[in-house]
A and B are shown apart, each in its own frame.
Chain A
Amino acid sequence: MIMWDQFVSDLYLNFVKDDRWHYLTRGLRTTLIVTLFAALLGVILGFLVAIIRNAHENTGKLRFLNGLCNLYLTVIRGTPAVVQLMIIYFVIFGSVRIDKTITAIIAFGINSGAYQAEIFRSGISSIPRGQFEAGRSLGFSYRQTMVHIIMPQALRVVVPTLCNEYITLLKETSVAGYIALEDLTKGGDIIRSRTYSAFMPLIAVALIYLILVLVLTRLVSLLERRLARGFR
């Protein structure tokens, strides 16, 4: 009974008093916005990079762009996201007052783009070479072969992997506090710095992430089942 009273008073102190739960809801909103737009930016970047790399592999053209893409992949995948985030905030936007949500979207978008590029490329490579040759021998151009034959099949293959990348991205945004952006994790940290209790804020933050990931995972498995239809 004493433990229960303690639990209730801890709950009150950490979430109800001074409307502290607002830190979590506002943080959750920021986390979702950053994740969503970073994922979108990442899709665009990743798709472009994959197309360029694949075109170079198959046609030998676009050498310069291909080199640029390789550099991008090496640098972004070779450095931690939190360091990239701080470089973008404190170095690249060194002397401008820029909205931190946008900074985070740019940083995580660029970061996620590198991983998504490789996912797209692996999807394209997974389609048997015979499909490509068949398209070309039927008189399709390289572009037509890609658009009408390879891409529709490749996209079906990459969707589950892409969604896993979004789940990773969602959790990766938890370092946004490094640039004083109040995301979900930082929201929990602020509560922790007010109440000096570690348990409640951290467990609450962890639970919220877990629920988000569970929902996303569920959606992915539904999508996978839907995509598998007609291919059996």
Chain B
Amino acid sequence: MKKLVSVTLVLCMMLSLAACGSSSNVEGTAKKGVLVMATNAEFPPYEYHEGDDIVGIDAEIAAAIAQRLGCELKIEDIAFDSIIPAVVSGKADIGLAGMTVTEDRKKSVDFSDSYASSSQVVIVKEDSGITGLGDLGADSVVGVQTGTTGDIYCSDDDSIGTVERYNKGMEAVQALTQGKLDAVVIDSEPAKVFVSENPGLVILDESYTDEQYAAAIRKDNAALLNNVNQALAELKADGTLDAIVAKYISAE
């Protein structure tokens, strides 16, 4: 009987703490009552700086999840390739950064259910004469953002000439407008923003790859993973998710 009581007590404690991911962090890195989200706020419309705030689809979805979990959201803006290490080390509870689910990433972290789908698209200059993926030959120079799926797929793609890895997607696009690159491979939503803001650029009709976005959560944090998935399911069901996406992405 005593054993049963203690097991129940332990379970209760775990569940009450688990909500904000602070429980399973034995090291106690995550603060109680605060959901720390790691992102790279250079990725419109998923996350970007507007005034002093970080806004975007991911920021709002995270805020909605945090609200459902009953905790406060804190957004940390770090380099994209540091997001998974931040989640693994417990510096952040979740990573939400327009991050595509890949087999390699799954080895380091768990992913929530997908909340958005995307594709990697190719941006070229209007007058470049490149109309399809086939036109990117062995002498082509393609710009990507370091560590993004566009980078990983392009690096493995033997039909592409040189892959240049920029720290920011914006810099790759800038190099493209300056004629330093033949094309930029990047996620479709930021691509739309970049193309609308830089005259003379177009997105090829044919997308490079299709993929799913999800939140990254530390492997041993099953409680948080379940909570996030449940919150996402509720947000999907009541239409909040669609409303957030529609707010940032105008249907074409």
Contact = CB atoms under 8 A, between A and B. Distances in A.
A100 B166 CA distance: 12
Interface in A156-200: 177-178, 180, 182, 186, 189-190, 192-198
Given A180-B171, A194-B152, A186 B165 contact: yes
B84 interface: yes
B28 interface: no
B85 A97 contact: no
A186 B167 CA distance: 10
A200 B120 CA distance: 29
A90 interface: yes
Contacts of A230: none
Interface stretch (B4-12, B56-64, B175-183): B175-183
How many chain A residues sit at the interface, stated as a range, is 20 to 34
Query: Which of B80, B105, B147, B172 has the most chain A CB atoms closer than 10 A to its own CB?
Result: B147
A163 to B, nearest CB: 31
Nearest to B152: A194
A194 B104 contact: yes
A180 B178 CA distance: 15
A94 interface: yes
A90 B164 contact: no
Contacts of A196: 81, 84-85, 88, 104-105, 108-109
Interface string A92-133: 001111101000000000000000000000000000000000
A193 B146 CA distance: 7
Given A90-B178, A180-B143, A197 B85 contact: yes
Contacts of A95: 178-179
Contacts of B178: 90, 94-96
A180 B175 contact: yes
B174 interface: yes
B142 to A, nearest CB: 11
A14 to B, nearest CB: 12
Contacts of B166: 180
Interface residues of B, number: 27
Contacts of B84: 196
A97 B180 contact: yes
A90 B105 CA distance: 33
B47 interface: no
Contacts of A186: 146, 165
Q: Which of B152, B167, B172 has the most CB of A within 10 A?
A: B167
A32 B249 CA distance: 46
A171 B146 CA distance: 21
B85 A90 contact: no
Contact of A190 (B80, B165, B171, B179): B165
Contacts of A98: 180
Q: Which residue among A178, A180, A190 has the maximum number of chain B CB atoms within 10 Å of its CB? A: A180
Given A180-B164, A180-B165, A180-B166, A193 B147 contact: yes
B42 interface: no
Nearest to B108: A196
A100 B164 CA distance: 10
Contacts of B85: 192, 196-198
A189 B81 contact: yes
A193 B154 CA distance: 14
Contact of B174 (A90, A178, A182, A190): A90
B183 to A, nearest CB: 13
B187 interface: no
5 contacts: A90-B175, A190-B165, A194-B147, A195-B104, A196-B81
Given A96-B180, A196-B84, 10 more contacts: A90-B171, A90-B178, A94-B178, A95-B178, A97-B180, A177-B167, A180-B165, A186-B146, A193-B146, A197-B85
